[in-house]
Amino acid sequence: MVIDGLDRLITGWEERKESVVVEGVHLSLNFVMGLMKKHPSIIPFMIYITNEEKHLERFAVREKYMTLDPEKNKYVKYIRNIRTIQEYLCNRADKHLVPKINNTNVDKSVAAIHATVFSCLRMRDAGEKFYDPATNTDIVIDEEYRNQCVANSLSSNGMFQLI
């Protein structure tokens, strides 16, 4: 149901030449790769946090009571499950060569995504295809993301300037 609905929405956005960000843990990498076969404009990223303490802190900020108490914060209560899902999704991203963004520094994450997306849009405009059906991978975007990280391996302030 989600797959078909999102597929129709993406078709409409493409027809109107509109940009959109779609996010959520429900977007499995198999689902994303399937969408990339049909929609060549998709530029996927896997956002994750390696440091469990920072992950918990983010969940404390998201929750109503801003607490790390598992009795009052469902994200903290289920952190083991969340981390297991994250590990699975990261492994799938590796398999499909979807760029992974370790989101421990928001400025750096946004700058890296921003630079990669704009570079990929230029490549797409020149006719470059992102999805490789022979390998079911996203090697072009992954390589561009890595190039952007090397070229812009700056401080947070430098990454912010890039934006």
Q: For residue range 34-50, list pLDDT tens digits in order.
A: 999 999 899 999 999 99
* pTM summary value: 0.86
Contact between residue 96 and residue 137 where contact means Cβ atoms under 8 Å apart: yes
- For residue 1, is pLDDT > 80? no
CA-to-CA dists, residue 84 to 50, 52, 72, 80, angstroms: 12, 11, 21, 6
The C-alpha angle 150, 156, 159, rounded to 5 degrees, equals: 55
The mean of the pLDDT values for the chain is 88
Mean pLDDT of 14-33: 90
pLDDT reported for residue 76: 87
Given a cut of 60, whether residue 70 has pLDDT beyond it is yes
pLDDT tens digit sequence for 132-157: 999 999 999 999 999 988 887 655 56
